[in-house]
Amino acid sequence: MADGILLERHGVPAASILTDAFTASGNAMARTMGADGYRYAVIPHPVSNLTPDECRERARNVLPEVLGILSAGDEASSADVRRQGTGPDHTPAEPAGLTTDRVRELQRVVEYYFERGWTDGLPVVPVTEATVCDFIDYVGRDPDEVILRVEHLGTACTVRLAAVAAAMAGCTREHFPVLLAVLDSFQPSVDTALLQSTSGQAIMVTVNGPIRRALGFNARANVFGPGYRANAVIGRATRLVVINALGIRSGEFDQGTQGTPGKYCLCIAENEEESPWEPLHVERGFPAEASVTTTHFARGTFPVDNRSGTEPEQILLNIADTMSCTTASRGCTVVMGPEHAHLIASRGWSKQEVKRFIWEHWGRRRGDLRRFGLVHDGIAAGGRLGAVEAPDEEFLRFAESPDAILLVVAGARNAGMTTVVPMIRPLFHSQVVQDPRGRQR
Amino acid sequence: MGSVLVDPTGGLRRPGAGTFSLAPRRARDLKGATVGLLANTKFNSDTLLDAIGELLLEHHEVGRLVMERKPYFGRPLPEEMAADLASRCDAVITAIGD
C-alpha cells in the first residue's frame, strides 16, 4: 500500500493488492501518507497457505480491478473512494477550567496512592466516597456483602471494596457488574491458595455475550491488549482486589517466583462473530443471549504461529506440542485465532473433537521428563510420572481429560495464530453478569 | 487554542500533510506497456504476481514484465528503488502475501 502511493508520487500508475484482513491498516497508511481514500484491490485472506492453483484463481479474480485502477477513464471511481475518507476529526475538548495548578494537585493525589502501597505499580484513578456510592447504587447490592474470603489470612472482599478497586482501575459503574461476576465465581480458586503460589499465576477472564459489544470489550486484533478500556480495567481491577482487599501483595503473601505480565491484566472477549463454533458460555450451559465471564488462573501466554499448515491435524499437533513444553500444567485454555478455527471447522471438526485430539497429544514421553531431571517432581505430568523403572517410551498425558482444556476463539482473522494459556489446575468458573436491576443480561 | 495537557502523540494522529494526486493514467489498457510486478517477499506474494504476469501477457498484450522484490516487507520501498521502477515501467502492481 505504502509502496503504491510512493510509486504514484514518482509518477507511475500503481495498483496495490491487499488481503481483506489488512484493509484497515491500508486505509490508515494512506491517511498517514496524505492519500486518504487511495484506491487499491482486495483479495480474500489468507494468501500464504494457498496452492499455486489457488493463487492463479485469486489472480484471475482480482485482475479486472487491477486493470481498472491502472487505466485512464477510471479515475472517477478513484475520486469517489477518496471522498469517503475517514470523516471529520472528533477531538474532545479539554475539561473546562483546567489549569496547570489543578493538574499538579491531581498528580500529588496519584503520588499519594503510590506512597500508601495501594497500586499495582501503575497510577490509579483517585476514588472518593461519592464514586463508591454511585457504583454500589448502580448494582443495587449490599455494600457489606462478602464476595471473596481468604480464611487463613482473615481477609475478605466486600461489594464495597470491589467498587473501590473497580473505580481505581479505571472502571465506570457500567463495568462494575462484570467485575462482580468475576469475583462472585472465584472463591473455589481462592480456596486453592494459589493466589500466593510461587507459580505466580495471573487471573484470566474471558467475556462472552452481548455485554462485549455494550461495553466495548475487544475480541479481535491484539485481543490480549493493549488499547481497549473494558478489557484493561476489568483485568486490572481483579488484581487490585487481590492486592488491597485480600491483602496479597508481591513479595509478601504473593510469593510468585517470577510472575507473569498477565498479573497486571489478563482479560479477553471471545470473537463469537468470527467463530465457527458455539461460544464458550453456550458450551458451558448458558443461553446465547446471556453475558457470562469465565475466570481461571493462568501461567502465561505462549504463541503458536502456524500460517502454512493446511490440515487440521498439523495445526492441532503444533498446539499440543506447545502446551507440552510447560511440563507443570494440568489445565490449559487454547485461545484459537479465527483463521485456525475456520481451517479446522471447515473439515467438519467440532469443538469437542478438537479438545479431545489436543488432549491426546498433550504430554511427553517419560524419558524426556527424566532427561529434564523431573523424575521426582510431584508437579510434572500431574505427578503421574510413576515408578522409576517404568519405560522411557511411554507417553504421559498431562491432563486427566479433555475437560481440562477450554477452547476460545479470539483475535483477528489476519494470520494463522493461536495462543495457549496453561495453568496448574483446570479450575474454570463461569458466571452470568447481572444487569443493574439484578436480572440476567 | 491553549491547552494545559501535552499531546502525547506529537500530533501524529493528524492526517498526513501535503496533497496527493494519482500519477497520470495514459491509456485505457496496458497494450504494449512495461508492467512492474513488486512482491513484498512474504510467502506466495511472488506466486500471485507470477500468475498476474502470465494473465497480462496472455490476454492483455502487455509488452514486457519487470519483476522486483522488496528488500524487506516491513518497511516501504527505498526511494531509489521506487524511482528506478518508475523510470523503467508504465505501471506497477504490488502484492502482499499473508
The answer to whether the Cβ–Cβ distance between B15 and A36 falls below 8 Å is yes
pLDDT exceeds cutoff 50 at A352: yes
Residue B10 contacts A, CB cutoff 8 Å = no
pLDDT exceeds cutoff 90 at B42: no
Residue B86 DSSP symbol: H
pLDDT (0 to 100) of residue A251: 86
The answer to whether the Cβ–Cβ distance between A33 and B60 falls below 8 Å is no
Nearest by CB to B22, from A19, A48, A75: name it: A75
pLDDT exceeds cutoff 80 at A72: yes
What is the model's pTM?
A: 0.84
pLDDT exceeds cutoff 50 at A147: yes
The answer to whether the Cβ–Cβ distance between B27 and A66 falls below 8 Å is no
Question: Burial letters for A243-263: b for 16+ Cβ neighbours within 10 Å, e otherwise?
Answer: bbbbbbeeeebbebeebbebb
> Which chain A residue's Cα is nearest to B53?
A59
* Mean predicted confidence (pLDDT) in A88-99: 82
CA distance, residue B64 to nearest chain A CA (Å): 16
Q: A33 contacts in B (CB within 8 Å)?
A: 16, 20
Ramachandran bin of A251, using left for φ above 0, alpha for ψ from -120 to 50, beta for the remaining angles: left
Per-residue confidence at A378, pLDDT binned at 50, 70, 90? Answer: low
- CA dist A205 and A295 (Å) reads 5
User: Residue for cell digits 501483595?
Assistant: A249
pLDDT (0 to 100) of residue B7: 86
Nearest by CB to A11, from B23, B28, B93: name it: B23
Per-residue confidence at A333, pLDDT binned at 50, 70, 90? Answer: very high
Mean pLDDT for chain B overall: 86
The answer to whether the Cβ–Cβ distance between A67 and B60 falls below 8 Å is yes
The answer to whether the Cβ–Cβ distance between A22 and B42 falls below 8 Å is no
* Mean predicted confidence (pLDDT) in B73-87: 88
pLDDT exceeds cutoff 90 at A358: yes
- CA dist A185 and A297 (Å) reads 13
With a pLDDT cut of 90, the percent of chain A lying above it is: 75
The answer to whether the Cβ–Cβ distance between B23 and A13 falls below 8 Å is yes
Tens of pLDDT, residue by residue over A233-280, are 999 999 999 999 999 999 899 999 999 999 999 999 999 999 999 999
* Mean predicted confidence (pLDDT) in B30-37: 92
pLDDT (0 to 100) of residue A369: 86
Q: A14 contacts in B (CB within 8 Å)?
A: 23, 91-94
Neighbouring C-beta atoms of residue A134, cutoff 10 Å:
15
Query: Of A48 and A440, which is predicted with more confidence?
Result: A48
Neighbouring C-beta atoms of residue A416, cutoff 10 Å:
22
Give me the sign of the Cα torsion angle A361, A367, A373, A376.
positive
Which of B35, B70, B98 is the best substitution to test chain A (most A C-beta atoms within 10 A)? B98
The answer to whether the Cβ–Cβ distance between B52 and A62 falls below 8 Å is yes
- CA dist A438 and A392 (Å) reads 56
pLDDT (0 to 100) of residue A388: 60
pLDDT exceeds cutoff 90 at A313: yes
The answer to whether the Cβ–Cβ distance between A67 and B26 falls below 8 Å is no
Edge to edge, the sheet with strand A292-298 lists A267-269, A202-208, A292-298, A429-432
C-alpha cell at A87: 470523516
pLDDT exceeds cutoff 50 at A77: no
The answer to whether the Cβ–Cβ distance between B98 and A50 falls below 8 Å is no
pLDDT (0 to 100) of residue B97: 72
ipTM of the modeled complex: 0.90
Per-residue confidence at B3, pLDDT binned at 50, 70, 90? Answer: confident
Which of B20, B66, B75 is the best substitution to test chain A (most A C-beta atoms within 10 A)? B20
Nearest by CB to A34, from B19, B60, B82: name it: B19
CA distance, residue A33 to nearest chain B CA (Å): 5
User: Hey, which residues 29-48 in chain B have their CB within 8 Å of chain A?
Assistant: 29-30, 36, 38, 40, 42-45, 47-48
pLDDT exceeds cutoff 50 at A86: no
Q: B83 contacts in A (CB within 8 Å)?
A: 10
* C-alpha distance from residue A143 to each of A29, A108, A137, A147, A438 (Å): 49, 29, 9, 10, 15
Mean pLDDT for chain A overall: 91
